[in-house]
Amino acid sequence: MPKSALATNERDANGRLNIMAGLPVLAPFFSFLSSMSKNWFITGVSTGFGAALADLALAQGDKVAATFRKQEQADEFSKKVGANGKGLVADVADEAAVKQAVADAIEALGYLDVVVNNAGYGSMGPIEEVSDAEVQRQFDVNVFGPLRVLRAVLPHLRERKSGHILNITSIGGLRAFPGVGIYNGSKFALEGIGESLAAQVGPLGIHVTNVEPSGFRTDWAGRSATFTEPAIEDYRPTAGKNMADIQGYSGQQPGDPVRAAQAMFDLVRMDNPPLHLPLGKAAVKGALDKFATITKEVEQYAHIGNGADFPS
C-alpha cells in the first residue's frame, strides 16, 4: 500500500503533520466502496416502475436481470444491456417460467442482491360485481406471483445470507378505497406476506421492504388496468365515481416514476432499511391518516376488546 502522510511524517510549512496530504492515496479505496455494484432481479420491466428502476440501476453501474412477458422485449433488453444484464421471459402466473427466470438470472449475473416484486395490475369495480374469474386472476398475479418469485429466490438469498426484497405494494395495501376493493385485497395480502417474511429472514441477513406508492404516472390506471363498470345503481356514487376519478387523472398523477426509482435505488444501499416505505406525498399522508384513525378507534373501543379475555 502506498505510504501516507502519516507514514512519511509529511509536514506543512508550519511544521504540523499534514494528514490531508495522505488522503489522495486512499481515494481509490473510497471510490471502490462507493461504486460497489448490485445485481438486481426485477419483474415486470416493460413499463412503469420496473422500466424506470432497471434504467436507473444500469445507469449507475449495477447489473439487472429483467422479466418481460414477450420474447421480443426480453431480446431487445438483452441486446441493449449486453454483459450488464439479461432479459428474461416470465409470466409471474407461471411457476415453471418464474423458476427458470430466476435460475437464468443467477447464471447470467453470478448472484442476486436485490429482488423486486414489481409485476402486477389493478382490477377495479364494485366488490359485488367483479367476477370470480377476475378476482382469481387479480390474486394470481398480485399475490401468488410474488410468492412464486419468493420461493424461487429465497434458497439463493439464504445461502448467501444477504439480499434485499422489495415488494411493490401500494398505498392501497394500507388503506382501502371504493371501486378498488379487489385490488386492495391483493395488496393487503402482499403487505402481510412481506411483514411476516421480514421477521423470518431478517435474522438471516435478508432485508424486506414493502414499497407503497400513491399515484404515479405509470400505466397502472390506463391500459394495465381492468374495469368492471357498476351495473348496480347503488354503487355508482361510490365505486363508480372513484373509478371515473382514477381514469380521469391517469397521466396527470403527481408521482414521478424516475424519482421513485431513485428512492428505491437509495433504499437498497441503506444499512438499516425500513420495512415500509410509502412513496409520494399522498402515500405518506394516507399512511399516517390510516394509522391515526386506527389508533383512535382502537383506543375508543379498547374496553370492549379488553373485556373479551378470561378474567385474570
Catalytically active residues, by annotation: 183
Q: CA geometry: angle at 272 spanning 145 and 152, to 5°?
A: 25
Number of other CB atoms surrounding residue 60 within 10 Å: 12
What is d(CA 290, CA 296) in angstroms, rounded to the nearest whole number? 10
C-alpha cell at 68: 418481460
Cβ-based neighbour number of residue 194 at 10 Å: 23
Residues ≥6 apart with Cβ < 8 Å to 186: 120, 123, 138, 139, 141, 142, 143
Residues in the chain: 312
281's grid cell: 406525498
Q: Name every residue whose Cβ is closer than 8 Å to that of residue 160 and which is 6 or more positions away in sequence.
A: 111
CB 161 within 8 A of CB 102: no
CA gyration radius for the chain?
24
- Residue pair 290/188 in contact (Cβ under 8 Å)? The answer is no
Burial of 236 (0-12, 13-18, 19+ CB in 10 A): middle
State whether residue 52 is helix, strand or coil: helix
